[in-house]
Structure 1
């Protein structure tokens, strides 16, 4: 859930008017594959899986989840409800069950505290601070850099404008007496629906459909307060720089010097957290993220060494935080007993909508300039990504597949080139330590470590 933003300017619509050269023709949305649906009044809705960035680290789970997302039918197999929490409006896709059918979900007032159903996906558009291109770009750029940030799988989706208008009205009816930022956002959406031709970043050129990003919904995540800290919203980024996780990333001391050990179980959490933080700073710097701090999450996983292969394996944990204490199920403790194992917090960057065309807060505070520790794998992938991005094919990919404008692409290219310059310079002056790849702390793997170089 996002932090309080009543004092912010996020409620202002960040949309281009009809004078913009951008006007989406749905026939141009081809991607790697596309699936067509029909709304009750016969409008042909689309779900589009974008082409893959060459050399990116897409997993089997990503490909399966893309197909799952595009199998969700707004009118047949998923309940659809407006989101009543946080700041930016969205449509929630809810999975029907024996207690609540799709018809029951759709007919309800969509109070999720009463509905015993799971939210499987979120459908967001370019309105308030949200940006469709930011959501899809975070998915693909994160995979290009080695699956950093564990960003949720995302596809492009359209919805009949009349269906969305009805959901907007439902949201405004429900929130009529609520004094919160989300009510203002839905009120903006109602106004936008009156003049669709004026908002080409929301509606296609026929004004029959609204388009946006459909993302997998992460479940059972926790707020990563260790990284964000707690305090005033207006100074959240300055607070982030003062938190222990970033201070470790900015330290000139090596990981063993900071921790006092290089033994796997003792350094595993610190190393993983440091990698996650430096990866996040890089990704947010490249993609003009305006609203990260306070929107960082994590999930628990066990990491343990397989003694036969001297490789790291991982398994999901059902550990929970209660009254500030981590409660681990007894069966998990028994299973991990005798192993070289550590229970870790894995960062999850699931709120990625306020980027691309926004204020680059990581750049504003000079966060990347302060980074002294980075994954060598992330570093090498950044260099390769910058090379491909700075080509006609790279520009064509972001504009056609991820709906970037020419200005969006130019900004991404400039940010990526600047990030490369900063990090290569640090590497060449021995100010950047490649000591946050956890595999380096497994005994007997020295021969498998790549020789580090500052250029490709």
Structure 2
């Protein structure tokens, strides 16, 4: 993740910024709770960045917490920070660049005037990409995005202890007048020249109108703070490469249920559906999946059993999270990062492939290359109005392999939510969700629990999705798990 360290952060903060580091607050605007950092804008508005309180019983790495702090140290108006509208893909957003170095060194205005119009290529003219800022956008002709969704995915992935890599996210406000001048109006102008990004252009059109007149956006609370002077969204970064049909499916059946059914014909999903022991399920999934020429081509000639074991675990987690949060836009949006893995004594080691090669002194010659899945695009969940395709296409019902730890966590989560325990209270108070949105999480968790427990009760769920053990030992002994999770 290209987030600056402490020294870089100091270089991108303006001296005018009012920063209250790690100030614990009971409520940080619009029911979002956590540690708050404040910034004073050139117009005198106080903007806020909030690190959501950790989920009870969640496990966070030092990198997670550092990245949260780094995001909440970025001053949008510092001379060495440039803001560009994201005019590619379907949803509008804001790219935040460090311009302390590079051809536009400390010339924020020149970068925004000349480089932003280059779209994705603007990042090549900056010293670094600090973060991406995403806000809610659900209007006619736009792509559905809901800013609390990436926060839900981030924190609940740490509750479940997922293998799939979910990016860190923090909550952030921005003065709507400055957003209009710095980003929204330029975004509308630039996106208007790109016919392939019609939904992106429509999103900018609605944002310009909303910045000028908040009540023009419905529901206004989804986009604006209670005083209507600031918009709010999330800061995150989502590096990675997009999978082809080998994971995202062929999508030949069209958007909606069609492509979600296509997704279930990928090799890893087919292996998850197989009642055979893990090695045979992997072989069966690969054999069946390769019958589709496009999938076979995108897989390439060599897919190791270890790669399939990781894919199976990661996809099972993706489906569970998408089911709980009613995600409507997953297929086609699954990414990966390549890593080298090797066994050293009793430990499994890894290094990011971008910076290393086998035999380079830090990675052994015998290391194997694996694609680890990134769940980067998580902004179309959490709303009651979204279509839950994991639910409507019965993905969970088809699983015959699952991880024991994730299963136990799901059972415990369901018990907590039903009893309105600590995780329920945290969910209700941390994200600014409505009662209906919280209850959707509760109901979907109950349904996911019922589905997987019924499969377990029938003796059809094998708890063997331990890809690290599979890679290190070559096999996995299925765990004995009580179906009630105890």
**Secondary structure, counterpart of 1:272 in structure 2:** helix
The residue that corresponds to 2:188 in the other structure is 172
The residue that corresponds to 1:290 in the other structure is 328
Give the whole-Å Cα distance in 1 for the aligned partners of 2:104 and 2:405.
46
> 1:301–1:345: 8 Å Cα contact kept in structure 2?
yes
Give the whole-Å Cα distance in 1 for the aligned partners of 2:125 and 2:66.
26
Q: Deviations over 1:49-85 (max 9, x none)?
A: 1111111121111001000110111011421111010
> 1:238–1:365: 8 Å Cα contact kept in structure 2?
yes
The residue that corresponds to 1:433 in the other structure is 462
Give the whole-Å Cα distance in 2 for the aligned partners of 1:162 and 1:68.
25
**Offset at residue 411 of structure 1 (A):** 0.5
Question: Which residue of 52, 55, 62 corresponds with 1:53?
Answer: 55
> 1:222–1:299: 8 Å Cα contact kept in structure 2?
no
Give the whole-Å Cα distance in 1 for the aligned partners of 2:49 and 2:215.
22
The residue that corresponds to 1:315 in the other structure is 351
The residue that corresponds to 1:222 in the other structure is 242
The residue that corresponds to 2:104 in the other structure is 100
Give runs of aligned pairs for residues 230-241 of structure 1, distance below 5 A.
230-232=250-252, 233-234=254-255, 235-241=258-264
Question: Quick one: higher RCO (CA 8 Å, sep 6+), 1 or 2?
Answer: 1
Give the whole-Å Cα distance in 2 for the aligned partners of 1:207 and 1:192.
10
Q: Deviations over 1:95-129 (max 9, x none)?
A: 22232235132333502425522433111111131
Q: Does 1:116 align with 2:154?
A: no
> 1:248–1:274: 8 Å Cα contact kept in structure 2?
yes
Give runs of aligned pairs for residues 319-334 of structure 1, distance below 5 A.
329=357, 331=359
Give the whole-Å Cα distance in 1 for the aligned partners of 2:188 and 2:410.
44
Distance 1:444 1:284, change over 3 A: closer
Unaligned segments of structure 2, at least 5 residues:
1-26, 139-143, 285-302
**Offset at residue 208 of structure 1 (A):** 1.2
**Offset at residue 388 of structure 1 (A):** 2.5
Q: Does 1:397 align with 2:415?
A: no
Question: Which residue of 363, 366, 376 corresponds with 1:350?
Answer: 376
**Secondary structure, counterpart of 1:165 in structure 2:** helix
**Secondary structure, counterpart of 2:402 in structure 1:** coil
**Secondary structure, counterpart of 2:171 in structure 1:** strand
The residue that corresponds to 1:10 in the other structure is none
The residue that corresponds to 1:78 in the other structure is 81
> 1:197–1:203: 8 Å Cα contact kept in structure 2?
no
**Offset at residue 142 of structure 1 (A):** 0.9
**Secondary structure, counterpart of 2:354 in structure 1:** coil
**Secondary structure, counterpart of 1:122 in structure 2:** strand
**Offset at residue 194 of structure 1 (A):** 3.3
> 1:125–1:213: 8 Å Cα contact kept in structure 2?
yes
Distance 1:411 1:203, change over 3 A: same
> 1:26–1:204: 8 Å Cα contact kept in structure 2?
no
Give the whole-Å Cα distance in 1 for the aligned partners of 2:468 and 2:240.
27
> 2:82–2:97: 8 Å Cα contact kept in structure 1?
yes
Give the whole-Å Cα distance in 2 for the aligned partners of 1:413 and 1:231.
31
**Offset at residue 202 of structure 1 (A):** 0.7
**Offset at residue 143 of structure 1 (A):** 0.8
> What is the TM-score of this pair, normalised by structure 1?
0.85
> 2:249–2:264: 8 Å Cα contact kept in structure 1?
no
> 2:275–2:400: 8 Å Cα contact kept in structure 1?
yes
Provide the alpha-carbon RMSD of the alignment.
2.5
**Offset at residue 303 of structure 1 (A):** 2.0
**Offset at residue 32 of structure 1 (A):** 2.9
> 2:31–2:432: 8 Å Cα contact kept in structure 1?
no
**Secondary structure, counterpart of 1:336 in structure 2:** coil
Question: Which residue of 382, 386, 389 corresponds with 1:361?
Answer: 389
> What is the TM-score of this pair, normalised by structure 2?
0.80
**Secondary structure, counterpart of 2:221 in structure 1:** coil
**Secondary structure, counterpart of 1:206 in structure 2:** coil
The residue that corresponds to 2:211 in the other structure is 193
The residue that corresponds to 1:278 in the other structure is 316
The residue that corresponds to 1:250 in the other structure is 273
**Offset at residue 282 of structure 1 (A):** 0.7
